[in-house]
Chain A
Amino acid sequence: PEPNVWAGCSNGSSSLRRSRREKQTLQCQVSKNLWELLPIERAAKKEKKLKESMALSSDDDDDDDDEMEEDGDDDEQKSDADMDEEDGIQTNTDDVDNFRLPSAEESEKEGVLSVDLKTVHQRIKDNIDVLCNFSAKREEGKDRAEYLSLLKKDLCTYYSYNDFLIEKLMDIFPLSELVDFLEANEIQRPVTIRTNTLKTRRRDLAQALINRGVNLDPLGKWSKVGLVIYDSSVPVGATPEYLAGHYMLQGASSFLPVMALSPQEGELVLDMSSAPGGKTSYMAQLMRNTGVIVANDANAERLKSVVGNLHRLGVTNAVVCNYDGRQFPKVMGGFDRVLLDAPCSGTGVIAKDPAVKTSKNEADILRSAHLQKELLLSAIDSVNATSASGGYLVYCTCSITVEENEWVVDYALKKRNVKLVPTGLDFGKEGFTSFKKFRFHPSLRLTRRFYPHSHNMDGFFVAKFKKFSNVIPSASVGKDETTEGAEAIEATDSPKDKPSKGKTTKETVPAKTDAVKQKAKTNGTTAAKKSANVKTKGQQNSQTGPKKAKIAKMDGETVKKAHGKNPAMKTPEQTNASKTVKKDGSRFEKKQTKKGKSPLKMKNRMGKNKFKKMKHKLQKNK
């Protein structure tokens, strides 16, 4: 249409001219509104206005509304929309009644001419409306896929995402929520600060800041230390209180993993990727500066900010170090609690970094998922399952894709002796247990997802693990039979932890093993157990020479003997294994098969101190 072309020419129009034009449009509308519109048109306009005023708080005049609505788009687009205001009303009335898909020529034309965002926005709304009541509102002869592809295209245009990311988001959110999410990504989250309880109290801090002309409020019922800053006459990051370490600028979402971890006083805690130190200092304040926190980050540059912040906040129980997280159990292990804030694609923080909208593709997501899996396994290996107070691990990302969250967690559940436990956060959405092609462990319900539109914080994912054994399940067993065997033992041995344990020992997850597993469970006799065990052993014996010898040795040994051998062997897994064996004899057989493998797969090395401590404990127990 002509107005479009016109708008394309007037890109550089001054704001003055624009406002004048808007006024004219406005007058036009008013007059039309009062005198010329048909009753049905008037009703439609009323409805539209109502919608707008619901969505936006200010409804002084149309001019204002436009400003708000187009927030985040550039000027060119604004003037486009303004020019079309008048036409928009009439076309809208048509659309409301029956939305129809544009024909092929129309969409072709659209590609040539500059796109009118206002119409696109309306089309998105109508399209979603149709899709939500598909059977009632659909157009004859058009199928869902056509509507969806149009919607995808429109969303890409309107919110300027790339196809890949929009597709991902459409999979994650129901359509009605999708637009809310995308809209929420256009506005910044409120600035939040965390009171440093090592130095001050929240009430005192709030008073001090109010005196400086800061307008603030408590963050919410769930946090006792958070404050939201609405506006401020001074820079919040440079007040004397800030410099003296009374508070930390920190997103509301970063509170959550630490609250889930809930480190206790006197514990040994690892923060695997700590920069810039917000979560680390929160841990320190929960621990009241006791115990030791190891604050690691792979990036030495970013560690400077960690040191700076820890100094400023008066944290005195932290040791800062610079390793790749994947090396971790080798450097030091035996932690009571570990926090892994994994590097991610950042799809939860698009509001902070809009570059994510276009820069990510499938490969990026998978690459970061791979890294996350590696990190998570080494994080789990660094936890000491036998710790009196702990043995917990929290995994979190600021991404909302399933590949980087549930998939990674599910992988860890299969690979290690860990189970999910409630995060202790009473809000947030449950994690997915099934998503497209993926089927996850049912306990993934216990993980929590946070979204910008529903919780007004960055998109976030939190999962809390409890490690129940230091033994690392055997790695990469090629044949199904062995897996079955291991499973059968698991199933018959410990009926309590059946689901999670069964998962953890399984290496490859072909669908048919499930059926076999079921069978083994129902049988549950000692005979089945024995045969399975023999099978496992047989498999192993045929595999490698040294292993064979090892197993032969182990078979003949009594519990005590194995115990006595420990200090010389220096394998923490064994220490633990023998400990548990000592505790309950019924598990002996299972542990033995594992023991046979562990020396070869000795990845989980413990800190020397921890080891000594453990040795000491064992001797005492004797």
Chain B
Amino acid sequence: MRPLTEEETKTMFEKLSKYIGENIKLLVDRPDGTYCFRLHQDRVYYMRTQAFRTFTVFWKFVPDKWSIGTKCCFSMFGSGSRYADNLKPSCPQFKVWVKPGAEQTFLYGNHVLKSGLGRITENTNQYQGVVVYSMADVPLGFGVAAKSTQECRRVDPMSIVVFHQADVGEFIRNEDALT
């Protein structure tokens, strides 16, 4: 586990800003303690400094045997951007709400169709990263807007409006890849 290099930090923040935009600041300056980003096995962990210290204990004691996957996984290099949805609901800039009927299909890794679209943030541009919610404001995953808000109004019900990137169903489907 090590801190990120300059380049990595840049890549990560670029990726993050797609989803949460200006709110990145909130991640770094938090009122409830100091947090840091650390890289471990292709993954970036966003963790409280105290947790990190505990972690290093293991590092020092048996460095060759520590097959530790920590918590607080935040973002991943490599296999797309997937990170635990422990973002605060206030964080994301652009949101998409899907209707109850379409929740399940999204959670099985499918794109969101126009017919399943409940609401969408105004002024979403095409190819903007969005966070997908259910109508009850349960965060379900991440996607990329296939159409802008304006276009969404006009397209036919069967066309795709949000491309699927990651969803909470992966907690179960890809359990092996999590660690």
Contacts and interface: CB of A to CB of B under 8 A. Distances in A.
Given A244-B138, A609-B53, A319 B68 contact: yes
B168 A304 contact: no
Given A240-B140, A331-B62, 12 more contacts: A208-B136, A243-B171, A246-B138, A303-B179, A304-B175, A305-B175, A317-B48, A317-B71, A320-B68, A320-B70, A332-B58, A608-B60
A320 B171 CA distance: 16
Nearest to B68: A321
B21 interface: no
A291 B71 CA distance: 13
Contacts of A609: 53-54, 57
B51 A319 contact: yes
Chain A CB count within 10 A is highest, among B57, B61, B71, B169, for: B71
A349 interface: no
Given A244-B138, A308-B175, A319-B55, A300 B47 contact: no
B113 interface: no
Contact of B54 (A241, A268, A309, A311): A268
A382 to B, nearest CB: 12
Interface of B: 47-48, 50-51, 53-55, 57-58, 60-62, 65-73, 84-86, 103-104, 107, 134, 136, 138-140, 167-169, 171-172, 175-176, 178-179
A322 B67 contact: yes
10 contacts: A240-B104, A240-B138, A241-B138, A243-B168, A244-B138, A244-B140, A304-B175, A332-B54, A608-B57, A609-B53
Contact of A244 (B65, B168, B179): B168
Q: Is the interface of B mostly helix, strand, loop or mixed?
A: mixed
The 6 closest A-B pairs by CB, nearest first: A243-B168, A312-B171, A314-B86, A318-B71, A308-B175, A244-B138
Give chain A's interface residue range (CB within 8 Å of chain B).
35 or more
A338 interface: no
A354 interface: no
B59 to A, nearest CB: 11
A316 interface: yes
A307 interface: yes
A178 interface: no
Contacts of B70: 318-320
Nearest to B62: A331
A512 to B, nearest CB: 44
A316 B71 contact: yes
A243 B141 CA distance: 10
A270 B88 CA distance: 27
A485 interface: no
Contacts of A316: 47-48, 51, 71-72, 86
A238 interface: yes
Nearest to A240: B103
Contacts of B65: 323
Contacts of B84: 311-312, 314
